[in-house]
Structure 1
């Protein structure tokens, strides 16, 4: 599988050992663990796993708060293992953040399939987010360049094509991006 690391958050050392062995057999390169939600939060400051497996309840909380805290700070897939009586509440609270919830007792085959799905889903989302961020940056750069161009039209009595060419030429001559040139123009007026 060539998978990255995994963080197991569970208050029972016997269950951690079982899950750790299972995941390492599946090709996860590292299997860190935490006995509490707070310990997991600290570990995530130093370790970026591919998958986070949370066995609810934890020593210090049910696990919902942990998922809500970490979901936007990590690209890892998140799976919460929960008792049947907590499933409804958890699904309602966590469906927005993309965490997957599995009922206990755990079926190993379903857990392993869900783990692959969770990690791949988050990778796809990360790719889309990077594309979106890139597009947003390009749009913002375009806006800055357009603003500077119209400032040159207004203040220097250039035509639009002249202003456009001026920004392009200055960028080439000074070996900086058109956006940097545009920002300098905006700063000087």
Structure 2
């Protein structure tokens, strides 16, 4: 699950930013006034964007960024002199006063970037090593030999067992090999 968390020391400012984002079709998961509250909100999400000010009630934005999981990005809204002192990875800055158009476009851009990274991670997870491919092939060959299955049937059987047991295909192939090799 992903979402946007708005964090400003002034609750009214945070609510105004949240309202702008919600009106723009964005899903805001939390409104916070402290860094601790923000970190607590992040624990309920897999990834997301934190829209915040330069200084929260209990910490600066740099401290908050250090504590944030790498799956989260930060949109800092502050005067340029507050955030121009150095580029921090995962922090995008918007200068005050903000324009609604700039806020919406920046959040949209950050959201698209997160979706692309998520797709890339999923694609990397799908690619199997040659050793894993060999393991699956051996399990299919064993099923084909012992149970008189075609390759397609053996593959579907492995997939079904994988889904039923809640394990990935490689682990299922390992289980089949260990059970049938006895």
- Normalising by the residue count of structure 1, what TM-score does the alignment of the two structures yield? 0.67
Identify which of 81, 85, 94 aligns with 1:85. 81
State the alpha-carbon separation in 2 of the partners of residues 41 and 31 from structure 1: 12
1:66 equivalent to 2:64? Answer yes
**Residue-pair matches, total:** 163
Cα offsets for 1:56-107 (capped at 9, x unmatched): 1112221123223324244xx531123322323342x22xx3x312222323
Gaps of 5+ in 1: 150-162
Provide the secondary structure at the position in 1 that maps to 2:52: strand
Name the residue aligned to 2:50.
Answer: 52
Preserved contact between residue 144 and residue 182 of structure 1 (Cα < 8 Å): no
Name the residue aligned to 2:117.
Answer: 125
Preserved contact between residue 10 and residue 55 of structure 1 (Cα < 8 Å): yes
1:102 equivalent to 2:94? Answer yes
1:43 equivalent to 2:41? Answer yes
Cα offsets for 1:101-160 (capped at 9, x unmatched): 22223232211111111111111111111111211xx22xx31454798xxxxxxxxxxx
Name the residue aligned to 2:163.
Answer: none
State the alpha-carbon separation in 1 of the partners of residues 28 and 134 from structure 2: 49
Provide the secondary structure at the position in 2 that maps to 1:89: coil
Identify which of 128, 143, 150 aligns with 2:131. 143
Gaps of 5+ in 2: 148-153, 160-168
- Normalising by the residue count of structure 2, what TM-score does the alignment of the two structures yield? 0.70
State the alpha-carbon separation in 2 of the partners of residues 147 and 27 from structure 1: 46
Identify which of 5, 8, 12 aligns with 1:7. 5
Q: Which has the larger radius of gyration?
A: 1
CA shift in 2, pair 1:79/1:71, >3 Å: farther
Instruction: Please identify which structure carries the higher helix content.
Output: 1
CA shift in 2, pair 1:134/1:145, >3 Å: closer
State the alpha-carbon separation in 2 of the partners of residues 22 and 144 from structure 1: 49
